[in-house]
A and B are shown apart, each in its own frame.
Chain A
Amino acid sequence: MKYVIVGNGVASVGAIEGIRRADPDGEILVISEESTPTYGRPLISYLLAGKIGPERMPLRPITFYDKFKVKMALGSKVVSLDAKAKTVSTDDGNTHPYDKLLLATGGVPFVPPLPGKDGSGVYSFTTLANAETLVDVAKNCKTAVVVGGGLIGLKAAEALHDRGVKVSIVELAPRVLSAAFDDKAGGLVAKRLAEVGIDVHCGTQATEIKRDESGTIVGVHLKDGSFLPAQAVVIAIGVVPAAALAKDAGIKVDRGVVVDERLASSDPAVFAAGDVAQAKDLILDDNRVVPIWPNAFNQGFYAGKNMAGADSPYLGGLAMNSIAFYGLPTVSVGIVNPAPGEAGIELSETLDEENATYRKLVFKDGKLVGYVLVGDIDNAGLYTGFIRFKFPLDADTKAKLVSGCPSILQWPEGFFDEKFNPVGAQEIV
């Protein structure tokens, strides 16, 4: 069996580990445009902030690829996929045959049609190369504007700020972190950012990146009429699935590559995982692109197992984000911003502004489906468990969750022993 994996993000690592669970010997080839082995992509903000050095970037030790018997073709871009012939061709002129192919190409940063976006001084922030560039940029840059107040934008802003750059964030939505968090959590984060001296401009958008005659950026015009002086602009609005290869090969693509429970695309020999895949969601019970790290690993892992012949259905991804802003930890899992008026929804919010702690729980039809924690995040995993295992909640348990005291001992009878103490469950007679 020959496996080819396109991309070397976390889905790729997941796939390697997944394949090896079921097939210890099949040939695995990883082809990646990037020239480094898999690194912790979210670590780029830590690198840019100077919190870690480049030696900490690799996601797996260098021995990993040998140990898992993986061949790497790095710095090599797959330009076409021939699904009929079962081959992929790369820009260096090679053609690689496969028995099973995994598309783990991830996403590409979305750059809006903003006047002045073309030219020097405008950066994305999704790759190690981006981060290395920005490390250099930060040395000679006094002020910068980050377009996009989502997770990537905020982490980019924080990192640049740590490098001594005066940063402003521009966000179209009325608050930062509009997708993953709600008003109150966004408010606490915005407050923390303001405290450290990062400007946040919400409810407006960049209209033009202003350049001088030499083409050097001088600042950003906003829709509200204000002008933010800057020498650099980071565009961090989001990523779109890099699904072109699949689309061109005639594989079904919606927002991303549509995959079934086994992570197989419309072509049974081609699988997809990670930010490029439109896969099952645990709560919503339909297929969505949820470009987050743990889903990418898990999808890769399940794709790998299924490519290697195991019939192992993927139970679905769960949207989750954990980010800390200047020591203020935040966690957001599942549905946190239900549509107003949605049936069966019940919310509980507990805000302590003084201690910068916030807890929001979202219940649907008597089950926990999402939560946000800011500040005190120690019970996050337990809440995640209640979502993941879809426990129906009685009034007592619900009250305990709401009061911030989830416990494994609130699990339904029998489930504890199934998970923690299987076999010989405790009949004491």
Chain B
Amino acid sequence: MAFAPINKNYHDFFVVRDKDACINCQVCVRQCSYGVHYWDEARQCVRHDNTKCIGCHRCEAYCPTQALLIQEKPSNFKPNALWRPVFIKNVYKQADSGGVLLAGMGSPVDIPVYWDKLLLDASQVTNPSIDPLREPMELRTYLGSKPTRLEFETTPEGPRLKTPTKPNIKLNIPIMFSAMSFGSINFNLHVAMARAATEVGTYYNTGEGGLHESLYKYGPNTIVQVASGRFGVHSDYLNAGAAIEIKIGQGAKPGIGGHLPGEKINAMVSETRMVPLGSDAISPAPHHDIYSIEDLHQLIYALKEASDYKKPVSVKIAAVHNVAAIASGVVRAGADIVAIDGMRGGTGAAPAMIRDNVGIPIELALASVDQRLRDEGIRNDASVVVAGGTRCSADVIKAIALGADAVYIATAALLAVGCTLCARCYTGKCPWGIATNDPYLAKRQNPDIAAKKMANLMKAWAHEIEEMLGGMGLNSIESLRGNRDKLRAVGLSQSEMDILGVKPAGR
């Protein structure tokens, strides 16, 4: 083509093909769902169109001769500290489209990652470290409301607990799979998460898309979510899982609802969500029945009523400015678990401006919520689960030291099954078969393999957590929970350290 629109040539990636190594097998052609690679009939060889590349690296991973390299296209623009290329390109795009810039996965912007500024302690000489390979190490965690004090009475059979207890869920590892709705990711991955959670003794969260009946058998390891769209919510659903979560907000897009495009609503999604085939599934920004803490209280108790008070109810909120006060209200409204989703949390689709500019980092939100609940004496009324940008077991253990009871992971789970963070989840064309319901692409996730990988990740992190705990001289995750003395900060300001409740390294 002699002329391409201005914005087409400012693409982000280019393909380097080693002609000597290329065997023209066309594996890349078949793997690319964006049409980058193609068979050139005239030249009888495989060629590519750089402008279409989104940088998912699927072709690179599948090329049997390592003939492909996907590279970031060096900027064509004159260096400018203010007008970085991303802003320039966004303006071009919007000048063409007139639309909102969409984005997928967590925010890639350069906001401080406090996990990296926090360092863990270890035992030396004065208190012995523990070898988890030789001695018991307890990672078991219970989520739900705990009584303030325990009262016992003496009976002829012996002492008996007098205090009534509320339902809790038991985690073998303080990590759960975070909410990713069926529809935003496909059924194969829901199967995989369900199996992996069952295998390692933790939970996965259905997200707001309902739960397909064939997955009810994994109910003991399932948290069912109720969001503003109420998709797939009915009595059987509420009772199918081990816990119920009300989704108020999502870290990647606080303040707005969700939109699953009609193209992703296939027969199975339609059946599960209880929405017509092919119609858009729109979750409103607010719950239309929640305008106050009192309203939230009503919904929490409506769900408890519906599930016979047998299941803890979680409320998930996005980490926003006054998250501590909100969390306090949530606990007072009767939530057994408060889930806080930080701004680096992932999403299937969000407006880029909101994803990159709204909310606060999870580390600060967690520290302030934990502190607030302690200050108000209601910390034991609810467990705190954090989500949004947990990358490794060290992040998990730091979160627990900052006060979390458990951590939700989602992006890491998707990475485990191949996601490369190309962040085009909203197109429905995920070449890794994750954020897509296209039957040709979705089967790229073999549930057997995906379940194994997800379970492996959980187990690996659990091992590392045990090692780090042992190194600190602790033999139970309970002993670390909220134990901020095990953390020290580097490179943080005094006010950041105050919020995090940690001392600077060296002190």
A and B touch in the complex (CB under 8 A): yes
Q: Which residues from chain A sit less than 8 Å from chain B, CB to CB?
A: 428-429
Q: Is A428 a contact of B188 with CB atoms below 8 Å?
A: yes
Which residues of chain B from 299 to 323 have any CB-CB distance to chain A below 8 Å in the complex? Answer: none
Question: Once bound together, how far apart are the Cα atoms of A97 and B217, in whole Å?
Answer: 67
Q: Is A429 a contact of B215 with CB atoms below 8 Å?
A: yes
Question: Once bound together, how far apart are the Cα atoms of A428 and B215, in whole Å?
Answer: 11
Question: Once bound together, how far apart are the Cα atoms of A429 and B217, in whole Å?
Answer: 10
Distance in Å: Cβ of A413 to nearest Cβ of chain B: 15
For the complex of A and B, list the 4 residue pairs with the smallest distance between their C-beta atoms, beginning with the closest: A429-B214, A428-B447, A429-B191, A428-B191
Q: Which residues of A contact B215 (CB under 8 A)?
A: 429
Which residues of chain B from 207 to 235 have any CB-CB distance to chain A below 8 Å in the complex? Answer: 214-215, 217
Distance in Å: Cβ of B211 to nearest Cβ of chain A: 12
Question: Once bound together, how far apart are the Cα atoms of A428 and B191, in whole Å?
Answer: 8
Question: Once bound together, how far apart are the Cα atoms of A428 and B448, in whole Å?
Answer: 8
Q: From B446, which residue of chain A is reached at the shortest CB distance? A: A428
Question: Once bound together, how far apart are the Cα atoms of A428 and B214, in whole Å?
Answer: 10
Distance in Å: Cβ of A421 to nearest Cβ of chain B: 14
Question: Once bound together, how far apart are the Cα atoms of A429 and B192, in whole Å?
Answer: 9
Q: Which residues of A contact B217 (CB under 8 A)?
A: 429
Distance in Å: Cβ of B248 to nearest Cβ of chain A: 31
Q: Which residues of A contact B447 (CB under 8 A)?
A: 428
Q: From B443, which residue of chain A is reached at the shortest CB distance? A: A428
Question: Once bound together, how far apart are the Cα atoms of A428 and B268, in whole Å?
Answer: 14
Question: Once bound together, how far apart are the Cα atoms of A429 and B215, in whole Å?
Answer: 7
Q: From B218, which residue of chain A is reached at the shortest CB distance? A: A429
Q: Which residues of A contact B187 (CB under 8 A)?
A: 428
Question: Once bound together, how far apart are the Cα atoms of A428 and B190, in whole Å?
Answer: 11
Count contacts between A and B, CB distance < 8 Å.
8
Distance in Å: Cβ of A303 to nearest Cβ of chain B: 45
Question: Once bound together, how far apart are the Cα atoms of A120 and B214, in whole Å?
Answer: 81
Q: From A427, which residue of chain B is reached at the shortest CB distance? A: B214
Question: Once bound together, how far apart are the Cα atoms of A429 and B188, in whole Å?
Answer: 8
Q: Which residues of B contact A429 (CB under 8 A)?
A: 191, 214-215, 217
Interface residues on B, range: under 10
Q: Which residues of A contact B188 (CB under 8 A)?
A: 428
Distance in Å: Cβ of A271 to nearest Cβ of chain B: 49
**Binary CB contact string for chain B from 400 to 429 against chain A (1 if under 8 A, 0 otherwise):** 000000000000000000000000000000
Distance in Å: Cβ of B192 to nearest Cβ of chain A: 10
Distance in Å: Cβ of A424 to nearest Cβ of chain B: 11
Question: Once bound together, how far apart are the Cα atoms of A339 and B154, in whole Å?
Answer: 98
Instruction: Give 8 A-B contacts (CB < 8 Å), ordered by A residue.
Output: A428-B187, A428-B188, A428-B191, A428-B447, A429-B191, A429-B214, A429-B215, A429-B217
Q: From B215, which residue of chain A is reached at the shortest CB distance? A: A429
Which residues of chain B from 29 to 81 have any CB-CB distance to chain A below 8 Å in the complex? Answer: none
Question: Once bound together, how far apart are the Cα atoms of A429 and B268, in whole Å?
Answer: 13
Distance in Å: Cβ of A375 to nearest Cβ of chain B: 23
Distance in Å: Cβ of A429 to nearest Cβ of chain B: 5
Q: From A428, which residue of chain B is reached at the shortest CB distance? A: B447
Q: Which residues of B contact A428 (CB under 8 A)?
A: 187-188, 191, 447
Question: Once bound together, how far apart are the Cα atoms of A429 and B187, in whole Å?
Answer: 9
Distance in Å: Cβ of A149 to nearest Cβ of chain B: 43
Question: Once bound together, how far apart are the Cα atoms of A429 and B191, in whole Å?
Answer: 6
Q: From B212, which residue of chain A is reached at the shortest CB distance? A: A429
Question: Once bound together, how far apart are the Cα atoms of A429 and B194, in whole Å?
Answer: 9
Q: Which residues of A contact B191 (CB under 8 A)?
A: 428-429
Which residues of chain B from 187 to 201 have any CB-CB distance to chain A below 8 Å in the complex? Answer: 187-188, 191
Question: Once bound together, how far apart are the Cα atoms of A429 and B189, in whole Å?
Answer: 10
Question: Once bound together, how far apart are the Cα atoms of A429 and B447, in whole Å?
Answer: 8
Distance in Å: Cβ of A427 to nearest Cβ of chain B: 9
Q: Kindly list 5 other residue pairs between chains A and B, CB separation below 8 angstroms, not including A428-B447, A429-B191, A429-B215.
A: A428-B187, A428-B188, A428-B191, A429-B214, A429-B217
Q: From B448, which residue of chain A is reached at the shortest CB distance? A: A428
**Binary CB contact string for chain B from 172 to 197 against chain A (1 if under 8 A, 0 otherwise):** 00000000000000011001000000
Q: From B188, which residue of chain A is reached at the shortest CB distance? A: A428
Question: Once bound together, how far apart are the Cα atoms of A182 and B409, in whole Å?
Answer: 68
Distance in Å: Cβ of A417 to nearest Cβ of chain B: 15
Q: From A429, which residue of chain B is reached at the shortest CB distance? A: B214
Distance in Å: Cβ of A17 to nearest Cβ of chain B: 39
Distance in Å: Cβ of A239 to nearest Cβ of chain B: 50
Question: Once bound together, how far apart are the Cα atoms of A429 and B211, in whole Å?
Answer: 13
Question: Once bound together, how far apart are the Cα atoms of A428 and B194, in whole Å?
Answer: 12
Question: Once bound together, how far apart are the Cα atoms of A429 and B193, in whole Å?
Answer: 11
**Binary CB contact string for chain B from 451 to 465 against chain A (1 if under 8 A, 0 otherwise):** 000000000000000
Distance in Å: Cβ of A178 to nearest Cβ of chain B: 42
Distance in Å: Cβ of A416 to nearest Cβ of chain B: 15
Distance in Å: Cβ of B198 to nearest Cβ of chain A: 12
Distance in Å: Cβ of B429 to nearest Cβ of chain A: 22
Distance in Å: Cβ of A146 to nearest Cβ of chain B: 45
Question: Once bound together, how far apart are the Cα atoms of A428 and B450, in whole Å?
Answer: 12
Question: Once bound together, how far apart are the Cα atoms of A429 and B195, in whole Å?
Answer: 9
Question: Once bound together, how far apart are the Cα atoms of A428 and B449, in whole Å?
Answer: 12
Distance in Å: Cβ of B443 to nearest Cβ of chain A: 9
Distance in Å: Cβ of B171 to nearest Cβ of chain A: 23
Distance in Å: Cβ of A423 to nearest Cβ of chain B: 15
Q: From B447, which residue of chain A is reached at the shortest CB distance? A: A428
Question: Once bound together, how far apart are the Cα atoms of A62 and B167, in whole Å?
Answer: 79
Question: Once bound together, how far apart are the Cα atoms of A135 and B447, in whole Å?
Answer: 64
Distance in Å: Cβ of B120 to nearest Cβ of chain A: 40
Q: From B192, which residue of chain A is reached at the shortest CB distance? A: A428
Q: Which residues of A contact B214 (CB under 8 A)?
A: 429
Question: Once bound together, how far apart are the Cα atoms of A280 and B117, in whole Å?
Answer: 83
Distance in Å: Cβ of A371 to nearest Cβ of chain B: 31
Distance in Å: Cβ of B165 to nearest Cβ of chain A: 34
Question: Once bound together, how far apart are the Cα atoms of A56 and B243, in whole Å?
Answer: 74
Question: Once bound together, how far apart are the Cα atoms of A428 and B443, in whole Å?
Answer: 11
Distance in Å: Cβ of B296 to nearest Cβ of chain A: 34
Question: Once bound together, how far apart are the Cα atoms of A428 and B188, in whole Å?
Answer: 8
Question: Once bound together, how far apart are the Cα atoms of A428 and B187, in whole Å?
Answer: 9
Question: Once bound together, how far apart are the Cα atoms of A428 and B447, in whole Å?
Answer: 7
Question: Once bound together, how far apart are the Cα atoms of A63 and B447, in whole Å?
Answer: 49
Question: Once bound together, how far apart are the Cα atoms of A190 and B149, in whole Å?
Answer: 101
Q: From B187, which residue of chain A is reached at the shortest CB distance? A: A428
Distance in Å: Cβ of B17 to nearest Cβ of chain A: 31
Question: Once bound together, how far apart are the Cα atoms of A67 and B500, in whole Å?
Answer: 82
Q: From B216, which residue of chain A is reached at the shortest CB distance? A: A429
Question: Once bound together, how far apart are the Cα atoms of A429 and B214, in whole Å?
Answer: 7
Distance in Å: Cβ of A125 to nearest Cβ of chain B: 46
Q: From B214, which residue of chain A is reached at the shortest CB distance? A: A429
Distance in Å: Cβ of A24 to nearest Cβ of chain B: 40
Distance in Å: Cβ of B189 to nearest Cβ of chain A: 11
Question: Once bound together, how far apart are the Cα atoms of A428 and B217, in whole Å?
Answer: 13
Distance in Å: Cβ of A428 to nearest Cβ of chain B: 5
Q: From B194, which residue of chain A is reached at the shortest CB distance? A: A429
Which residues of chain B from 144 to 187 have any CB-CB distance to chain A below 8 Å in the complex? Answer: 187
Distance in Å: Cβ of B269 to nearest Cβ of chain A: 16
Distance in Å: Cβ of A296 to nearest Cβ of chain B: 42
